[in-house]
Amino acid sequence: MLTFTIRRLLLSIPTLLFIAFVIFMLLELAPGDPMAQMPLTIPPEVKEKMRLALGLGEPWWVRFPLWLKQFFIVEPQYWIDSAFGTNFADGAQRIISFQSRSPVFDTIAQRMPQTLWVVGMSYVVGVLIALPIGIISAYRQYSVFDQTGTFVSMIGFSVPPFFSGVLLIVIFSVQLKWLPSIYDTTHVVNSWDSFVVQLRQMIMPVMVLALQTTAQVSRYMRASMLDNLTQDYVRTARAKGMSESVVVMKHVLRNSMIPVITVIALGIPAIFGGAIITEQIFKVNGLGQLLIIALQGNDIPMVMTITFLLAVLIVMMNLIADVLYGILDPRIRYD
Amino acid sequence: MPDGTTPVLDVQDLKTVFRTRGGEVHAVNDVSFSLRKGELLGVVGESGSGKSVTMMSLLGLLPVPPAEIRGGRVMFDGQDLLQIPAKTLREVRGGKIGFVFQDPMTSLNPVFTVGYQIAEPLRKHMGLSKKAAAVRSRELLELVGIPDAEQRLLDYPHQFSGGMRQRVMIAIALACDPQVLIADEPTTALDVTIQAQILELMKELRDKLGMAVIWITHDLGVIAGIADRVMVMYGGQVVEHAPVHDLFSNPKHPYTTALLKTIPSIAGERAARLTVIDGQPPLVVGPPTACPFRDRCAQAMPVCATKVPSRYDVGDGHDAACFLVDPLEVAHAG
Ligand SMILES: Nc1ncnc2c1ncn2[C@@H]1O[C@H](COP(=O)(O)OP(=O)(O)O)[C@@H](O)[C@H]1O
Ligand SMILES: [Mg+2]
């Protein structure tokens, strides 16, 4: 298992380099000018100088390796330096945003907590709701509970967050005035009351994202449970005199979780993608919103870095899913 | 080695149906039989004749829809297994009655170790501690002839061969010293040499532990060597029932006669054997109204299409459900 993990980690390096290259070239070839938003009064010579100052004078085969070096060497050096007070980076140039002129990673570090709170929380909530729904739906197949679950997850699948989000805002913020429509990122949780405020502003974005997760994961859980409930080993467990709870929650669940865990791991990058839209709707200034603003402003280093981080997340989650599969299923031996 | 006449298990008029889209499949029709202490009862019949459904009905192991037990009594230990509460029934399952299923490749849970799966009934029914259960599990593996038992307890089912897995299944069924062991075609999925080994093991264990055994098979040849009594099933009914020697030397039902002709002289003739009786076993939709075997029977008479034959006694614990031995019909003909 360990050798497998190491081998997969090593293999993911060329994969990620290739992905980085593709993203870089896509951004390179895409139309759009980082100078486009500068006031028209700036004379062309000055604009040209600014362009050179941003490093845009160099051809891509110089800029791409430079970005790689900054991403993989300079930035980690800076983190180590700031954590341990060392001086590895030695003033080397970090990845700088075209728009804010500050290091890309500083901005990302500021925005990350908002996204993690909303996205992470919604995923955890979504999965925790989905698992029991899937289990009960399968155990009581075609019951009223199961039919309701099927209906709700159909809605979760088919209604996009930009619709369900706006719908929730209209109902709960505009009409009922129960919940705030805008996520206040400056809010600090330091007491019970402020915690309640935080909860209230998180409810809607979390629900919108969780609905999707719940819909998906509960379907997978149900299907996987149904697959296993009819297996011969279930009959064996019953013939041994095991109670229904042991049969279902131990024998069947343990087998059913194997594919579901994979789905859960692979769903993590997807939910970050979904957050891009949800953050826009609820005005959460997290990574999703940062990416949209960077795209609009042709802020290539920012777009490149966020997109690549997402790619890293996808590759890593794939790896984790495979490793978990091997841990959970004794029949699988990777080495 | 049957000791006298006390039945440990007594089944009367068991009826099981499946509600399906195509109608009600009457899979078990008024099946009655009893099992004496220490006896080995063989149950034979082509596949689809209702052997498995009968045995699973006894212990409530069928999925409840589509299955439905329409009637009958299953007396065991002074109580009717069809009436007792689920909790009491679970104490019987795996505790007092052990079950071995046909396919050892799928009957064990792939994600738990063999040791865990043997220990489960021990801990539940006998209340053993983890440690005591581990010791007993090892003994059981040794009992069923698995070498290196201590080590193998930690292995998962996929690390065992088919024959070894069936031994594990037998160990699980025997774990709590059951009074009755029901083995549903335990060797069908195995190859011939392994079949012989498992058969040998079962004979040995029965002598050693003295439990009563119901051995289901579609192979009369297997039955000849081990059974005390034999029950032949067809179309969800018991068509003939006799002490083993009687059945082989003096079969009364045309179906039994046909089955006997199919026993291969050497084990290699399996493929040929299965096609010897012409025609297909019936799918019993709706309650039976006639002899199920009449369409394939060379000696069918007009009466066979009009009613279901009951089991007529032909002496010495031998009975057959055939109008050929119906005293009334015989009188008519004579
Ligand atoms: N789940 C089910 N639904 C409908 N019919 C079934 C089901 N299980 C078994 N049967 C029917 O019951 C009959 C007896 O099956 P079974 O007891 O498995 O035969 P066998 O003698 O081979 O063990 C068959 O005709 C089969 O079609
Ligand atoms: Mg069967």
Q: What is the pLDDT of residues B105-148, one digit of tens each?
A: 899 999 999 999 999 999 999 888 999 999 999 998 988 888 88
Tell the burial category of A33 from Cβ atoms under 10 Å away from its Cβ (0-12, 13-18, 19+): exposed
Return the C-alpha torsion angle A230, B218, B169, B182, nearest 10. 90
Ligand 1 neighbour B53 (Cβ under 6 A): yes
* CB-nearest partner of B94 from A233, A241, A258: A241
Rounded CA-CA distance A242/B87 in Å is: 10
| A39 assigned to some structural domain | yes
For residue B66, whether the previous peptide bond is cis, meaning omega lies within 30 degrees of 0, is: yes
A131 and A59 in a common domain: no
A320 and A176 in a common domain: yes
pLDDT(B267) > 70: no
pLDDT digits (tens, 9 = 90+) for A175-214: 888 888 777 777 778 888 888 888 888 888 888 888 888 9
Nearest-5° Cα angle at B142, B136 to B143: 85
Confidence of residue B73 (pLDDT cuts 50, 70, 90): very high
A37 and A138 in a common domain: no
A181 and A38 in a common domain: no
pLDDT(B331) > 70: no
C-alpha distance from B158 to closest chain A C-alpha (Å): 7
A115 and A80 in a common domain: no
- Percent of chain B residues past pLDDT 90, beyond the cut: 34
Tokens describing residue A57: 């004078």
Task: Name the residue at shortest CA distance from atom 22 of ligand 1.
Answer: B47
Q: Do residues A292 and A276 make contact, with C-beta atoms less than 8 angstroms apart?
A: yes
Span B239-260, mean pLDDT?
Answer: 88
User: What's the pLDDT at B265?
Assistant: 52
- Centre of ligand 2 to C-alpha A254, Å, is 28
A119 and A37 in a common domain: no
A250 and A124 in a common domain: yes
> How many structural domains comprise chain A?
2
Task: Name the residue at shortest CA distance from atom 9 of ligand 1.
Answer: B53
Nearest chain A alpha carbon to B121: A240
User: What's the pLDDT at B271?
Assistant: 43
- Percent of chain B residues past pLDDT 70, beyond the cut: 90
Span A57-73, mean pLDDT?
Answer: 85
Under an 8 A CB cutoff, do A237 and B109 touch? yes
DSSP A57-87: TS-HHHHHHHHHHIIIIIHHHHHHHHHH---
Q: Which ligand is nearest to the Cα of residue B51, counting in written order? A: 1
Q: What are the C-alpha distances in Å from B95 to residues B37, B177, B240? A: 16, 7, 31
* Average confidence score pLDDT of chain A: 86
A160 and A52 in a common domain: no
Tell the burial category of B302 from Cβ atoms under 10 Å away from its Cβ (0-12, 13-18, 19+): exposed
Under an 8 A CB cutoff, do B110 and A238 touch? no
Rounded CA-CA distance B73/A56 in Å is: 89
Q: What are the C-alpha distances in Å from A239 to residues A54, A135, B35? A: 73, 22, 19
In Å, the largest CA–CA distance within chain B is: 71
Span B178-201, mean pLDDT?
Answer: 82
Domain containing residue A143: CATH number: 1.10.3720.10
A147 and A53 in a common domain: no
Rounded CA-CA distance A139/A142 in Å is: 9
Specify the pTM. 0.83
| A233 assigned to some structural domain | yes
Q: Do residues B97 and B59 make contact, with C-beta atoms less than 8 angstroms apart?
A: yes
* CB-nearest partner of B111 from A235, A240, A330: A330
Task: Name the residue at shortest CA distance from atom 5 of ligand 1.
Answer: B18
Span A222-247, mean pLDDT?
Answer: 93
* Boundary-marking domain end, from A48, A65, A84: A84
- 3-class state of residue A50 by DSSP: helix
Rounded CA-CA distance A328/A259 in Å is: 10
A158 and A248 in a common domain: yes
User: What's the pLDDT at B272?
Assistant: 44
pLDDT digits (tens, 9 = 90+) for A94-134: 888 888 888 888 888 888 888 888 888 888 989 999 999 99
A207 and A143 in a common domain: yes
Confidence of residue B243 (pLDDT cuts 50, 70, 90): very high
Q: Give residue A79's domain range.
A: 16-84
